Structure formats: C-alpha cells, structure tokens
Structure 1
Amino acid sequence: MSSGNPTSDPLEPLNLPSSIRVQADKLLLAIRSGRTLPDTLRAADRAEGFALGLDTVRVLHAIDVEGLYRAFDDAAQIRLAELL
C-alpha cells in the first residue's frame, strides 16, 4: 500500500478505532526509528503480533487487519533498506 510518498499515512484508509490507531501509530514510529537491524526487526515483530492479536479476537474487518500487516511490513522493509 506504499504510495512512494514517505510522508503519506498508510493507516489513513483503514477503519481503525482511535485506541487501536494510537497504538498502531506508536508501532509504526518504533519501526521507522529503529537504530539497528535488531531494533527494527524487534519493532516489526511486535507490530505483527499486535495485528495478529486484533485478527485473533476479530475486532477489525479482515481488510483492515490486512492493511495493518501491509503498513507494518512496508515500514519495516523501508527501514531495513535504509540501515543496510
């Protein structure tokens, strides 16, 4: 879902309740600000676990969960490429 614009908000199109949005923003920030490869991977794993938890308890529509996975993965791939 990457638009190629790093300032765009990948969570914008998702239908997220505010409490989930706040946490998702924090997780994205942690991924984007990873100082090392292990830091970034740890943040990405935490974000994936968050999305898995939401999917498990079915608090979001499947398309929104998929959007979260995609946003977290895209952010991790970009940050990992920057660190290499």
Structure 2
Amino acid sequence: MIDIEAHLAPLNLPIHIHTQAARLMLAIAMAHSLYDVPQAATRAEGFGLGLETVKALNPASIEGLYVAFDTAAQARQAELPS
C-alpha cells in the first residue's frame, strides 16, 4: 500500500485540501478491483481539476497532486490480480 503522507506532505497543502486529497488517495488504495481503480483515480483527478480551475493552489502543487494520484493508481493496479 502506498504511503499517502509521504506523497502529500511535501506539497504543503492547506489542511482542508490535504484531508480531501488523502481521502481520495485512500479510496484509490482501497479499490477492490481493476475496474474500481480508474473510477477512484478519475474522481481524484476531478478534484485536482477543480482546484486548478479555481486557482486554489500554485501550479507546482497541482502537478504534485496529479502525480500523487497517478502514483497511487499505478501502485494499486500493480497490487490487484489481473
């Protein structure tokens, strides 16, 4: 399982954004099937897109979130049987 805090801590996110991002990463990490992983990842990416749209974070933090979500999805897909 991916270390969520290790991926989010360097981004120095505001607490409310950090909390939601951690929940979304946990949902990816807890996906039950290969079908569920992309659904959870898409939800997380939508969160990132929303933050990007309203310019809630700087571009580096947004990119860091996208990378964290993608890393979590790839890790979970690797853990699940095909």
Moved over 6 A (4+): none
Matches within 5 A, 1:1-84: 6-7=2-3, 9-83=6-80, 84=82
Indicate the SS of the match to 1:11: helix
Q: State the identity %.
A: 53
Q: Which amino acid aligns with 1:11?
A: L
5+ residue gaps, structure 2? none
Q: TM-score, normalised by structure 2?
A: 0.91
Q: CA RMSD in A?
A: 1.5
* Alpha-carbon shift at residue 23 of structure 1 (Å): 0.3
Aligned pair count reads 80
Q: TM-score, normalised by structure 1?
A: 0.89
5+ residue gaps, structure 1? 1-5
Higher helix proportion: 2
Indicate the SS of the match to 1:36: coil
Distance 2:35 2:61 in 1: 27
